[in-house]
């Protein structure tokens, strides 16, 4: 009823044209988000000069914020502006945030002495924090709205098309993420600046900012073609009020004289609609199951922090291809794009032949995969630790001038500085590969070239009688990184296989088990588990304060295994429901026959589903047998 005829007239191959604008918008938005996120931790470390722990903490606080704000977005959309306007306004906030980040990364703004380092770090830190806050508000706020808005474009009988839309939507997320995590680290590695050339974080943030503007423009261009549902009132507020009333009513009727009710939510029956109460029960059942889930995200989101920092201590030379540490994150979307079809068409059907591989079982295996990934990360760390000294900072080199006159030293993009006679330069950051230094004084000049391995550090001694190349001696302060970045591939494989089983299945599970008017509520609840997961990283890292990185990886793996066992027990007692059928029973019967309603609700609850799509629900004839089959 809700879909207008205008909407159905604008179709291509049975799909509303409007969804084209929505998937392109999602692609650009995810490019913007993941592109910025890919270089963020290195920006903290090398531009803002924070240590690993602070960089990791702020990174996870930011990611957590990005997944807390969906609740805000859902409330604004449902109760006030509607999804369309919410997406537009919050996208503007988002684009402003990205531009702020790009500006904050221009070192020339405060580099008064023109030595390549910002002189007023407080300015850059403050701008970055404002930028990140606006981005978190924008990206999180629009997240539950865009996918739901896409779903709204389909009419009730277009269920198949809507499913295909969600698959394409997920592929767009990962396509955008893949491209951006390849591109922004390349942009970051470029050198730019007005007075001095430095790593170009402003460009690495600027391109995602531009993509966010493109996302917004594309979304606005589609404006005339969308179906725009009116806000239906704040369902979240209704849910909270109803739960609050149930609790207070229960507390008011504590005495033995009051007959017990089957479920504590039944205490809301005195004031609230039975359908709403039944819907809240369904949601609460799923939310209860969510309790252990944040631990998965705790491990999952460390790809962008700890694992990227780990990659900085590794050798990224893949022969013809030189991989930047932050580019290793592309392994995740690459594997997603290959694993999702393989899992769906091959692995799941094969496993299904042996055991009933229900969504909750898939999620349990996904958690185990993530734990294995962290064991791999721990083993890789042990390998790295065997080779890694701590002083001086990796990739930095210095010159000692033994001549009787001051010398200048520079290489394209890096001015080491003027070194006084019998004095030494500061350590300067030098790229890997073959580097040619130019050394010059008032009377002579020469070139000196040297191969720099990943992470290596040298001190060069310039003798009194400099002719050049052959005269300079070098001592190796830090050996080049020898642990190869390819060693990270197994951990990426396991975490991504875990993601496919856990995240993709979890999204689908949350959607299928939610009542119609609370799908957004449950999506926001699902995203909340991601936010909590990121807070756990902060807490564990702060409280545990483990000096050895490999031990921290193993601790996280062990925590997830414990949580996984708890989740599998909880999942064992979960019975799949078909919310639409339960709701239909209520609608059919009306509210006037209490006993009948209760029976219908009981029956609906027992209607179990053979798989996650809900396409095989049972009519209740063999309820008990089938329920046994589909437990967990
Ligand atoms: C957070 C979601 C799981 C999703 N992320 C991915 O698919 C990553 C890129 N593999 C998203 O919506 O960003």
**pLDDT tens for each residue of 562-621:** 999 999 999 999 988 888 888 888 776 654 455 554 544 454 444 433 333 333 332 333
- Asked if residue 141 lies in contact with residue 72, where contact means CB atoms within 8 angstroms, the answer is yes
Last residue in a domain, options 457, 478, 499: 478
Residue 329 lies in a domain: no
Minimum CA distance residue for ligand 1 atom 6: 174
Residue 37 lies in a domain: yes
**Which SS3 state, helix, strand or coil, does residue 232 take?**
coil
**pLDDT tens figures, 340-389:** 889 888 999 999 999 999 999 999 999 999 999 999 999 999 999 887 66
- Whether the full predicted model's pTM is greater than 0.80, yes or no, is no
Instruction: For a ligand 1 pocket test, name from 64, 148, 174, 336 the mutation site with the most ligand atoms within 8 angstroms of its C-beta.
Output: 174
- 567 Cα to the center of ligand 1, angstroms: 22
| Residues in contact with ligand 1 (CB, 6 Å cut-off) | 30, 173-174, 177, 332-333, 336, 499, 503
**pLDDT tens figures, 444-497:** 788 888 888 777 888 888 877 766 667 788 888 777 888 899 999 999 999 999
Minimum CA distance residue for ligand 1 atom 11: 173
- 61 Cα to the center of ligand 1, angstroms: 17
Q: In this structure, how many other beta carbons lie within 10 angstroms of the beta carbon of residue 483? A: 23
Per-residue pLDDT at 559? 94
Write out the residue range of the structural domain in which residue 212 sits: 1-233
* Band of residue 124 on the pLDDT scale cut at 50, 70, 90: very high
Minimum CA distance residue for ligand 1 atom 2: 503
Residue 372 lies in a domain: no
Query: CA 112, 118, 119: angle at the middle one, nearest 5?
Result: 55
393 conformational bin, left if phi > 0, alpha if psi -120 to 50, beta if neither:
beta
Instruction: For a ligand 1 pocket test, name from 173, 335, 339, 511 the mutation site with the most ligand atoms within 8 angstroms of its C-beta.
Output: 173
Instruction: For a ligand 1 pocket test, name from 146, 167, 503, 523 the mutation site with the most ligand atoms within 8 angstroms of its C-beta.
Output: 503
Minimum CA distance residue for ligand 1 atom 9: 174
Residue 382 lies in a domain: no
Minimum CA distance residue for ligand 1 atom 3: 503
Per-residue pLDDT at 165? 85
Question: In total, how many domains does the chain have?
Answer: 2
- 463 Cα to the center of ligand 1, angstroms: 56
DSSP 525-568: HHHHHHHHHHHHHHHHHHHH--S-HHHHHHHHHHHHHHHHHHHH
**pLDDT tens figures, 54-96:** 998 899 899 999 999 998 988 888 778 888 999 999 999 999 9
Last residue in a domain, options 233, 254, 274: 233
Tokens 């496993």: give the residue: 351
| Average pLDDT rounded to a whole number, residues 43-49 | 94
Q: Tell how far CA 513 is from the center of its chain.
A: 24
Give the whole-angstrom CA distance, residue 53 versus residue 543.
12
Minimum CA distance residue for ligand 1 atom 8: 174
| Average pLDDT rounded to a whole number, residues 423-452 | 80
For the CA of 530, the nearest atom of ligand 1: 1
Continuous segment of H or E residues that includes residue 177: helix 159-189
The pLDDT of residue 625 is above 60:
no
State how beta strands 414-419 and 407-411 pair: antiparallel
* Band of residue 413 on the pLDDT scale cut at 50, 70, 90: low
Per-residue pLDDT at 148? 81
Average pLDDT, whole number, for the chain? 84
For the CA of 332, the nearest atom of ligand 1: 10
State how beta strands 396-401 and 457-462 pair: parallel
Residue 269 lies in a domain: no
Per-residue pLDDT at 25? 97
Continuous segment of H or E residues that includes residue 428: strand 428-429
For the CA of 170, the nearest atom of ligand 1: 7
For the CA of 174, the nearest atom of ligand 1: 9
Question: And the tokens for 336?
Answer: 């997603």
First to last CA, the chain: 36
Q: What is the CATH number of the domain that holds 45?
A: 1.20.1250.20
For the CA of 34, the nearest atom of ligand 1: 9
Pick the range with the lowest mean pLDDT from 46-55, 300-309, 538-547: 538-547
- 500 Cα to the center of ligand 1, angstroms: 10
Residue 438 lies in a domain: yes
- 191 Cα to the center of ligand 1, angstroms: 30
Last residue in a domain, options 455, 478, 501: 478
Buried b / exposed e over 96-121, threshold 16 CB at 10 Å, is bbbbbbbbbbbbbbebeeeebebeee
Question: And the tokens for 132?
Answer: 């990140």
Burial class (CB in 10 A: 0-12, 13-18, 19+), 354: exposed
Residue 98 lies in a domain: yes
Q: What is the CATH number of the domain that holds 443?
A: 2.60.40
Burial class (CB in 10 A: 0-12, 13-18, 19+), 353: exposed
């Amino acid at each position: 009823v809700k879909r207008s005829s205008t909407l159905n007239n604008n179709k291509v191959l049975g799909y509303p044209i409007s969804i084209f604008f929505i998937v392109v918008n999602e692609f650009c938005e995810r490019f913007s988000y993941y592109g910025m996120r890919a270089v963020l931790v290195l920006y903290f470390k090398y531009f803002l000069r924070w240590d690993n722990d602070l960089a990791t903490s702020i990174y996870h606080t930011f990611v957590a914020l990005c997944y807390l704000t969906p609740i805000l977005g859902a409330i604004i959309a449902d109760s006030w502006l509607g999804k369309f306007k919410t997406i537009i306004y919050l996208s503007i906030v988002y684009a402003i945030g990205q531009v702020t980040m790009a500006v904050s990364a221009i070192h020339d703004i405060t580099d008064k002495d023109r030595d390549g380092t910002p002189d007023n770090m407080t300015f850059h830190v403050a701008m970055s924090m404002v930028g990140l806050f606006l981005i978190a508000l924008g990206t999180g706020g629009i997240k539950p709205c865009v996918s739901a808005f896409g779903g709204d474009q389909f009419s009730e009988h277009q269920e198949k098309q809507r499913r295909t839309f969600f698959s394409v939507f997920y592929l767009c997320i990962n396509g955008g993420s893949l491209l951006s995590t390849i591109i922004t680290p390349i942009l970051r590695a470029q050198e730019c600046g007005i007075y001095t050339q430095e790593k170009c974080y402003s460009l690495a943030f600027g391109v995602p900012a531009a993509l966010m503007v493109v996302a917004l423009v594309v979304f606005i261009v589609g404006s005339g073609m969308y179906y725009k549902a009116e806000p239906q009132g704040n369902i979240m507020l209704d849910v909270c009020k109803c739960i609050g009333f149930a609790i207070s009513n229960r507390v008011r009727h504590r005495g033995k004289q009051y007959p017990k009710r089957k479920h504590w939510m039944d205490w809301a029956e005195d004031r609230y609609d039975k359908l709403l109460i039944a819907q809240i029960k369904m949601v609460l059942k799923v939310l209860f199951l969510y309790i252990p889930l944040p631990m998965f995200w705790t491990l999952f989101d460390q790809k962008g922090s700890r694992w990227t920092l780990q990659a900085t201590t590794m050798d990224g030379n893949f022969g013809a291809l030189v991989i930047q540490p932050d580019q290793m994150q592309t392994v995740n979307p690459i594997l997603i794009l290959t694993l999702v079809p393989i899992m769906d068409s091959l692995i799941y059907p094969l496993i299904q032949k042996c055991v009933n591989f229900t969504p909750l079982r898939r999620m349990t295996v996904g958690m185990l995969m993530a734990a294995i990934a962290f064991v791999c990360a721990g083993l890789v760390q042990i390998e790295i630790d065997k080779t890694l000294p701590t002083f001086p900072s990796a990739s930095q080199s210095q010159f000692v001038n033994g001549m009787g006159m001051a010398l200048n030293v520079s290489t394209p993009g890096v001015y080491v500085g003027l070194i006084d006679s019998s004095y030494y330069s500061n350590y300067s950051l030098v790229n890997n590969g073959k580097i040619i230094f130019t050394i010059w004084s008032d009377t002579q000049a020469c070139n000196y070239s040297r191969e720099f391995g990943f992470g290596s550090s040298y001190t060069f001694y310039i003798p009194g009688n400099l002719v050049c190349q052959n005269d300079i001696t070098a001592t190796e302060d830090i050996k080049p990184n020898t642990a190869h970045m390819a060693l990270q591939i197994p951990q990426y494989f396991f975490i991504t296989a875990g993601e496919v089983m856990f995240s993709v299945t979890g999204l689908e599970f949350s959607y299928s088990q939610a009542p119609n008017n609370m799908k957004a509520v449950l999506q926001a609840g699902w995203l909340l588990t991601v936010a909590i997961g990121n807070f756990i990283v902060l807490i564990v890292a702060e409280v545990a304060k483990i000096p050895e990185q490999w031990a921290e990886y193993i601790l996280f793996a062990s925590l997830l295994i414990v949580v996984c066992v708890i989740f599998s027990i909880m999942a064992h007692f979960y019975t799949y429901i078909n919310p639409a059928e339960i709701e239909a029973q209520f609608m059919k019967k009306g509210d006037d026959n209490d006993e009948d309603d209760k029976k219908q609700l009981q029956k609906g609850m027992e209607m179990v589903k053979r798989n996650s799509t809900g396409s095989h629900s049972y009519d209740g004839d063999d309820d008990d047998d089938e329920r046994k089959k589909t437990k967990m």
